[in-house]
Amino acid sequence: MDEWKPNPAVKPHKKRSWYLAWKYKLMNQRALRKLCQTGAVLFLLVTVIVNIKLILDTRRAAYEEEEESAQDYDDEMLNVEVPRHPVNNKKVLDVEVYSSRSKVYVAVDGTTVLEDEAREQGRGIHVIVLNQATGHVMAKRVFDTYSPHEDEAMVLFLNMVARGRILIFTIKDEGSFHLKETAKNVLKSLGSQVAPFLSWRDMWTFVGRKGGEVYGEKHAKSPALSTWGDPVLLKTEVHLTSVEDAECHWPDTELNRRRKRFCSKVEGYGSVCSCKDPTPIEFNPDPLKDNKVFDVPVAVIAGNRPNYLYRMLRSLLSAQGVNPQMITVFIDGYYEEPMDVVELFGLSGIQHTPISIKNARVSQHYKASLTATFNLFPDAKFAVVLEEDLDISVDFFSFLSQSIHLLEEDESLYCISAWNDQGYEHTAEDPSLLYRVETMPGLGWVLRKSLYKDELEPKWPTPEKLWDWDMWMRMPEQRKGRECIIPDISRSYHFGIVGLNMNGYFHEAYFKKHKFNTVPNVQLKNVESLRKENYETEIHRLLGEAEVLDHSKNPCEDSFVPDTEGKVYVMFIKMEQEADFTTWTQLAKCLHIWDLDVRGNHKGLWRLFRKKNHFLVVGVPASPYSSKKPSSVTPIYMEPPAKEEGAVAVPAVAAAEQT
């Protein structure tokens, strides 16, 4: 069995979700202690493994180096006979591609365009796309086809690359384990003879023109399961075509000029660069009548995920009532491609030199972006804050336009957010319904300038404090008991799966089943009832109307809620004091909603939908609404499962996966 684990010290990709689970669970003291114990044992184990591996690696590396130099020499000898000068005015590119267990590189005309020898990353198939006329690198991707589903992403990407482009492939470490038939066939259709037979720990390089000739391919088979194929170095030449041949002939308009600039620089955006029928880059959604947020600046916080940014901006610019002139994209770092995307859509972008690391870096980027937003739009009383991995609902601005006056007038409000943490497919129902919650969901929200300028900006965590900005904003010192307004059905959708705190596993469990409004022009119901005092009246009315559920049944069972529609039900759970979320967390777990920390509560009350009925949960006796509990009803108590070592996040994720 052990032999089937390649690179045992490469950490499984689940580690991000572990990190997240930690982050949220750290508040829990007991979990913390357990965690420390587990942590210590794990640490010991890892240290031992790393040390053993280090010894093995050093030996192997020394061996490998000898081999590489030998190979280099060989290739030099062979290459002597190849004519090095361009013939017939055609420009020729020299391309070198290297594939090995621990290092890959690609050099074009002597310039290294890819070099990856970092340990424990960059595993899989590296793909580089060159412009066939200029030789410029248009895209660089790595698909970890040792892991599942990455081959699908690669196929998607390769299909989007325009015909005629030069494609360069090279494998680092392992690239075949989850490389399925479909992907192999795509590679084969590009002209690769080896791809169909690529197997465990083979080394492979390939250079070809999409839909055209093959410039070279090299392959080294792995002799045994426990070892890698020998490093391969491919040296070849690519003939460049004329610029006209490499470009599309779109009508000469302002938009197409932007499109042309974009499409000659980058690849992997599919139909936006299609010659025949390019997808529009201007959307002109219907304007909003009486749009109260037309002059509100929109700050899009971005990193280096240009494809995400592209998807995000498309949805943002398609939302009714959008005002592109108010949008600024803040890019964390000097990355070119996100800026290219921003320019494609004719928006303004600002780059930010990173000044810290990890979470603190994100936090500093947020601060700089917010400050800059209010500097650039000094008249603004609010700013809309978005992230690059969100889809924006078609009625996002309509939703804000109808609710923003509350944020202006009701000082007990902290924010308006487009995201309902508990709004899953099976728990959200009413697009016209709003809630007040004590938590700050983020993911598309409105910030009041006075809150930022007077309170947050002056004491924003400094770079040496490695804090998450959102966690910091949720702390009682900042929130000061204020609440956020959220919709029942979210107006944003979190699609990002590669991020600092995000991976596919985690996304699948907590975000994929989130409900997202697609109905335009939703008229929000009873907005005035969201004001502080009015909301209490509203809640009392609801509780008065609500039917008390049968507390002898198991609340996790579907039958707990009758098969009705449009009714209001209430259940009472045990909640000894304000911070006692024991039962709630268990309930959230079995309802398959957010359970990593407590979200969406208002004075010990949660509101969601079950089977199209409004479903209220009151924590007794901590909630002031406890008085609504009939004396005959005993609040339900749900015990947390007996803690197994290291079982902190797994049950929740596993549960969510079953849905």
Partner 1 sequence: QNGAGFSKVRGSQSGQDSTRWHVVRKFLGLLSSHNIPVYLIDPLILGLVDKDIEQIRSSPDGPSPECKYFCAPRDFTTFALLDKTWKHEGGLFRTAEKMGFQWLKIINKDPRLDGMDDLSGMEIPLHYIFKLASHAIHLVVFYERSGNFLWHGPLRLKQHMDRKFVPFRKLHFGRYPGAYEKPELLLVSIDDLKVQIPKNPSSFLQEMSHSRFLECRYREARAFFQLYPDDASLDAVEFRKKAKSLLHLAALTLNNLGVKFWLSSGTCLGWYRQCNVIPHSKDVDLGIFIRDYKADIIPAFQKAGLPLKHKFGKVEDSLELSFQGEDDVKLDIFFFYEEDDHIWNGGTQAKSGKKFKYLFPKFTLCWTEFVELKVHVPCETLQYVEANYGPEWKVPVKTWDWKSSPSNVQDNGVWPVDEWDDVIQIY
Q: Which residues bind partner 1 (CB under 8 A)?
A: 254, 257, 325, 348-355, 368, 371-372, 374-379, 453-454, 458-459, 462
Task: Kindly write down the DSSP assignment for every residue of 518-536, as one continuous string.
Answer: --TT---S-GGGGSHHHHH
Cα separations (Å) of 631 from 504, 572, 638?
46, 11, 20
β-pairing verdict for 137-143 and 166-172: unpaired
| Catalytic residue flag (residue 470) | yes
Contacts of 260 (CB under 8 A, 6+ apart): 247, 248, 250
Q: Which is nearer to partner 1, 334 or 637 (CB)?
A: 334
Q: How far apart, in whole angstroms, are the C-alpha atoms of residue 659 and residue 592?
A: 8
In DSSP terms, 139 is beta-bridged to 129
Q: Smallest gap, in angstroms, from Cβ of residue 501 to partner 1?
A: 24
Q: Which is nearer to partner 1, 348 or 537 (CB)?
A: 348
Dihedral sign, Cα of residue 429, residue 497, residue 184, residue 201: negative
Q: How far apart, in whole angstroms, are the C-alpha atoms of residue 36 and residue 473?
A: 27
- Residue 268 tokens read as 């992997």
Entry field: residues in the chain? 659
Q: Smallest gap, in angstroms, from Cβ of residue 379 to partner 1?
A: 6
Residue matched to tokens 């529009």? 280
Q: Smallest gap, in angstroms, from Cβ of residue 300 to partner 1?
A: 14
Is the CB of residue 343 less than 8 Å from the CB of residue 281? no
Q: Smallest gap, in angstroms, from Cβ of residue 472 to partner 1?
A: 14
- Residue 156 tokens read as 């998607």
Q: Smallest gap, in angstroms, from Cβ of residue 377 to partner 1?
A: 8
Catalytic residue among 94, 430, 470, 580: 470
Q: Smallest gap, in angstroms, from Cβ of residue 165 to partner 1?
A: 28
Q: Which is nearer to partner 1, 379 or 563 (CB)?
A: 379
Q: Which is nearer to partner 1, 97 or 299 (CB)?
A: 299
- Residue 62 tokens read as 């020394």
Task: Kindly write down the DSSP assignment for every residue of 113-134, as one continuous string.
Answer: EEEE--TT---EEEEEEE-TTT
Cα separations (Å) of 587 from 442, 487, 503, 623?
23, 22, 25, 17
Task: Kindly write down the DSSP assignment for every residue of 366-390, as one continuous string.
Answer: HHHHHHHHHHHSTT-SEEEEEETTE
Q: Smallest gap, in angstroms, from Cβ of residue 378 to partner 1?
A: 4
Catalytic residue among 389, 395, 410, 488: 389
| Catalytic residue flag (residue 389) | yes
In DSSP terms, 573 is beta-bridged to 619, 636
Q: Which is nearer to partner 1, 459 or 643 (CB)?
A: 459
Q: How far apart, in whole angstroms, are the C-alpha atoms of residue 471 and residue 252?
A: 49
* One-letter amino acid of 65: E
DSSP H or E stretch at residue 437: strand 434-437
Q: Which is nearer to partner 1, 222 or 364 (CB)?
A: 364
Q: Which is nearer to partner 1, 48 or 357 (CB)?
A: 357
Known catalytic residues are: 389, 470
